């Protein structure tokens, strides 16, 4: 390989490095991981708020049940007095009956409330169980995705360090001044800066090259640049 051919090869290795580095930064599996983490966070928030709501409803249900017990005890006590023959005054009897009716109505309303609360508790418990199931499933998926990502990163990193090794070995075979010129051009214009000559045509800008330039470029041991695009030309047989 002549100097310029080596430089073309160096450029190929640089491009492979760049492509791998970009691919490492934009792994599709990382996007899946991010989505999965987002979903898990939403699910955990739902679980937490459902847990708080369940706690609140359970307390409310207990409270209502105590009220029912109290009301039942009061009803029993009044009934005992009323039907035990202790009370004879008709007006008092009337009052006690009215009180009993009111208490029974209150109790019935409380019981309806408890049924409503029980239904809500049941729905929440079932929601919590579903969310928990999905969390377990998502966590397993996430574990697999992370394994897949780490595997891909390891494989790509190994490939990258191979290419970097090849580049270093090639780099020392090319004169320093030539590599510096190449790197300067890379900084200035980016992309491909060393291009093959394809049948007297510049491989970069596809403009026909003067014969004098082609003749100069043929030995592949000096920097000959395309007059149109400024790229370094590399003769290939
Ligand atoms: Zn050109």
Q: What is the pLDDT of residues 78-100, one digit of tens each?
A: 999 988 888 889 999 999 999 99
pLDDT, residue 8, reads 94
- Dihedral pair phi/psi, residue 221, rounded to 5°: -125, 5
Whole-number percent of the chain with pLDDT over 90: 91
Ligand 1 centre to CA of 216 (Å) is: 15
**186 CA distance to ligand 1 middle (Å):** 15
- Could you read off the pLDDT of 11-68 as tens digits, one per residue? 999 999 999 999 999 999 999 999 999 999 999 999 999 999 999 999 999 999 999 9
Distance 36 CA to ligand 1 centre (A): 48
Ligand 1 center–CA 152 separation, angstroms: 38
CA distance 123 to 120: 5
What is the CA(217)–ligand 1 centre distance, in A?
A: 13
Using 50, 70 and 90 to split pLDDT, how confident is the model at 172? very high
Domain ranges of the chain: 9-171, 176-235
Q: How far away, in angstroms, is 196 Cα from ligand 1 center?
A: 10
Q: Calculate how far, in angstroms, residue 182's C-alpha sits from the geometric centre of ligand 1.
A: 15
Strand order in the sheet with 232-235: 201-202, 194-198, 232-235
Residue 70 confidence (pLDDT) above 90: yes
How many A from CA of 101 to the centre of ligand 1? Answer: 102
Residue 88 sits at φ, ψ, to 5 deg, of: -120, -20
Fold of the CATH domain 9-171: Helix Hairpins (1.10.287)
**Ligand 1 centroid, distance to 160 Cα (angstroms):** 30
Ligand 1 centre distance from Cα of residue 232 (Å): 8
What is the SS3 assignment for 87? Answer: coil
């Amino acid at each position: 390989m002549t100097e310029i051919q080596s430089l073309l090869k160096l450029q190929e290795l640089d491009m492979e490095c760049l492509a791998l580095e970009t691919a490492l930064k934009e792994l599709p599996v990382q996007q899946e991981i991010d989505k999965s983490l987002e979903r898990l966070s939403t699910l955990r928030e739902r679980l937490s708020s459902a847990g708080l709501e369940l706690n609140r409803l359970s307390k409310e249900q207990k409270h209502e049940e105590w009220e029912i017990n109290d009301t039942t005890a009061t009803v029993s006590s009044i009934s005992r007095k009323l039907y035990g023959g202790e009370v004879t005054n008709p007006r008092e009897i009337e009052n006690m009956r009215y009180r009993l009716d009111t208490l029974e109505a209150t109790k019935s309303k409380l019981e309806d409330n408890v049924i409503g609360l029980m239904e809500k508790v049941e729905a929440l418990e079932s929601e919590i169980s579903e969310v928990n199931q999905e969390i377990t499933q998502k966590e397993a998926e996430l574990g697999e995705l992370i394994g897949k990502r780490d595997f891909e990163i390891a494989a790509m990193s190994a490939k990258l360090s191979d290419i970097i090794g090849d580049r270093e070995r090639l780099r020392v075979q090319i004169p320093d001044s030539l590599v510096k010129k190449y790197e300067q051009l890379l900084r200035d214009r980016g992309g491909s800066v060393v291009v093959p000559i394809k049948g007297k045509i510049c491989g970069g800008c596809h403009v026909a090259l003067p014969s004098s330039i082609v003749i100069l470029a043929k030995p592949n041991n000096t920097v000959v640049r395309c007059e149109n695009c400024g790229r370094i030309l590399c003769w290939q047989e």
